[in-house]
Chains A and B, each alone.
Chain A
Amino acid sequence: DAKTTQPNSMESNEEEPVHLPCNHSTISGTDYIHWYRQLPSQGPEYVIHGLTSNVNNRMASLAIAEDRKSSTLILHRATLRDAAVYYCIPTRGKDSSYKLIFGSGTRLLVRP
């Protein structure tokens, strides 16, 4: 399983963009990159995933480096509700035993 490195914590001001980095230098060519987040006192929730190309959805954007050894989750305008722990998780695609292996994640603090 690929190992990931994320900052322990980051801070942002409300309504400003946030870039959450993740290093996954041991990722294999077929691993997808998933991001989940966990709001206080809740279970994790899916944010976005990608393989090689940058991805956008209603919650965030995912920028994947050309060598796939790192990725960045982008929240375009942080809100107070985005304060959470963000997990970057490489996963094996096309695998019936697909599972999430969570690290410690990045705790995002959003200042009003």
Chain B
Amino acid sequence: EAGVAQSPRYKIIEKRQSVAFWCNPISGHATLYWYQQILGQGPKLLIQFQNNGVVDDSQLPKDRFSAERLKGVDSTLKIQPAKLEDSAVYLCASSYRGREGLDEQFFGPGTRLTVL
């Protein structure tokens, strides 16, 4: 079974530039998550999709971050404009809503963003 795919793996940009990350979840997984992981910290949830609808985006800085999941499959996360503090690894995860609602989340390898 193919895992969660993310691209690019690495990205270096200058502050105030824009950047986009792409995620392809495991086939059949209805739920998709984007996390931000700053060096030395645990991942922090930015946004959660159920199919193509947003379930939780309470931690997403909406003035600069946006995300979409058209057709309920692939997803993109965009930062516009980027700030120095956005330097982090951006992780995508997906899950299949099984019984009891206790889904194991499968994570991709992440995109490491460096903002100069």
A-B contact count (CB 8 A): 59
Interface flag for A91 (CB, 8 Å): yes
A46 touches B45 (CB 8 A): no
Number of B residues contacting the other chain (C-beta, 8 Å)? 26
Beta-carbon contacts under 8 Å, B59-116 to A? 91, 93, 97, 100-110
Give the bracket for the number of chain A residues in contact with chain B.
20 to 34
Interface flag for B56 (CB, 8 Å): yes
Q: Which stretch in A17-25, A70-78, A101-109 binds the other chain?
A: A101-109
B45 touches A94 (CB 8 A): no
Residues of chain A with a CB closer than 8 A to B91's CB: 43-44
Interface flag for A95 (CB, 8 Å): yes
Interface flag for B21 (CB, 8 Å): no
A93 touches B100 (CB 8 A): yes
Which residues of B approach A to under 8 Å, CB–CB? Answer: 4, 33, 40-45, 48, 50, 55-56, 91, 93, 97, 100-110
